Amino acid sequence: MGVDWRAVRAEFPALERWTFLNTATYGQMPRRAVEAAARHYAHRDELACSDFLSWFDDADRIRGLIAQLIHSAPEDIAFIPNAATALGLLLGGLDWQPGDRIVTLQDEFPNNLYHPALLAARGVEVVEAPWSEFYPSVTSRTRLVVLSEVNYTTGFRPPLQEISEFLHERDVLLYVDGTQSLGALQFDVRRLRPDMLAVHGYKWMLAPNGAGFMYVAPALRERLHPSVVGWRSHRDWRRVDNLHHGAPEFKSDAEKYEGGMLPFPLLYPMGASVEMFLEIGPALIEQRVIDLTTLVREALRRLGARLLADEGPHYNSPVVAARVQGADASELARQLKQRRVLVSARHGLLRLSAHFYNNEEDIERFEAELQPLL
């Protein structure tokens, strides 16, 4: 039986008033996610937080849902407030030596440029390679490659499976930021084998700001020490009547990286959205996104825009970037917003990003509103 996409769309009230093609900036939260947060607050009032330890059982259930989504084990998942936290944990936990090298791609998201650059003070070389020079940039001194699965500006999607195989043959760690892809595109850690995958859920996963997770591969967990240590770091932390004093004994699970209390009002909505993805089916969601993205590209071509996807390979992603000759992308985005059509501009490119809650009428209205502005 097919998916009733109209019923799915009805979960997103903002779409009744806006033509929204901007999930790469912010995802719309479904009603069920908002209701999940409201239920949590009501539950707090009902029991005066007396059952707070049971909330961690709920967190473990959400951990399991995320693991199901990316084909991992629940113990591989730790909750984080944003992707920068995960990268900071990784960079801070490795024993860097002068001459070590980190490789990333040109025009990466600032997270993936700023923090690695700070390691230059310790003699670490950071290489921002164009895609054409990526593989030669990985030398015998390379210890880590930092990539986004989908580039936030251009929509470029590097071939992760090919890259992962290349890096594992050379014992180079692979960090992947999936914030601009997970929720729209399927991700299988068994096949892609990142050492760490970090996702802030407020875009394609349709979660609140501050709700995110990281996958940490078992082999990496054996060598990567926690950088945040708190009352939940000791493996017996649930014994709150008699918490351990002294140096903590860490669990082997990724949970050891969480340290302290969890942001439950954010996790319950993220869990509700992940349940929605699993109910619909990640494969069906990806196909829906790809079909809508194809229509977005066709509309832009009719308007005379130049698409990066037409100029090179590896742009098979839901983020569509285009150059509109003779027009300022930021000004176009501003004028479209006045017409209640939301897109974005990044580095001179007009950027559109359709999710499964969009429909054909959204794209038709975008085209009709942009045409007179050109």
User: What pLDDT, in 10s, does the model give residues 48-82?
Assistant: 999 999 999 999 999 999 999 999 999 999 999 99
The answer to whether 139 touches 101, Cβ cutoff 8 Å, is: yes
d(CA 107, CA 308): 14
Whether pLDDT at 263 is above 70? yes
Who contacts 369 (Cβ-Cβ below 8 Å, separation ≥6)? 19, 336, 339, 341
Please name the residue that has the structure tokens 């000004």: 331
* Phi and psi angles of residue 171, each rounded to the nearest 5 degrees, phi first: 60, 40
Whether pLDDT at 87 is above 70? yes
For the beta carbon of residue 82, count every other beta carbon within 10 angstroms. 19
d(CA 128, CA 146): 10
The answer to whether 193 touches 219, Cβ cutoff 8 Å, is: no
Predicted pLDDT at 65? 98
What is the pTM for the complete model shown? Answer: 0.96
Predicted pLDDT at 70? 98
Percent of the chain with pLDDT over 70: 100
d(CA 155, CA 297): 12
Q: Give the mean pLDDT of 98-117.
A: 95
Residue 271's pLDDT band (cuts 50, 70, 90): very high
Query: Judging by DSSP bridges, how do beta strands 125-129 and 142-148 pair with one another?
Result: unpaired
Predicted pLDDT at 1? 63
d(CA 356, CA 9): 8
User: What pLDDT, in 10s, does the model give residues 137-171?
Assistant: 999 999 999 999 999 999 999 999 999 999 999 99
Who contacts 346 (Cβ-Cβ below 8 Å, separation ≥6)? 152, 153, 321, 329
Question: For residue 187, which amino acid is it?
Answer: F
d(CA 140, CA 239): 47
d(CA 70, CA 322): 30
Q: Give the mean pLDDT of 212-219.
A: 98
d(CA 50, CA 2): 44
User: Of the candidates 273, 138, 152, 141, which has an alpha carbon nearest to the alpha carbon of residue 202?
Assistant: 273
Average pLDDT, the chain: 97
Q: Give the mean pLDDT of 227-251.
A: 93
Q: Give the mean pLDDT of 265-285.
A: 98
- One DSSP character per residue, 49-103 reads TTTHHHHHHHHHHHHHHHHHHHT--GGGEEEESSHHHHHHHHHHHS---TT-EEE
Q: Give the mean pLDDT of 283-288.
A: 98
Predicted pLDDT at 258? 97
User: What pLDDT, in 10s, does the model give residues 315-332?
Assistant: 999 999 999 999 999 999
d(CA 306, CA 304): 7
Percent of the chain with pLDDT over 90: 98
Q: Where are the beta strands (DSSP E) in 130-258?
A: 142-148, 173-177, 196-200, 212-216
Predicted pLDDT at 2? 87
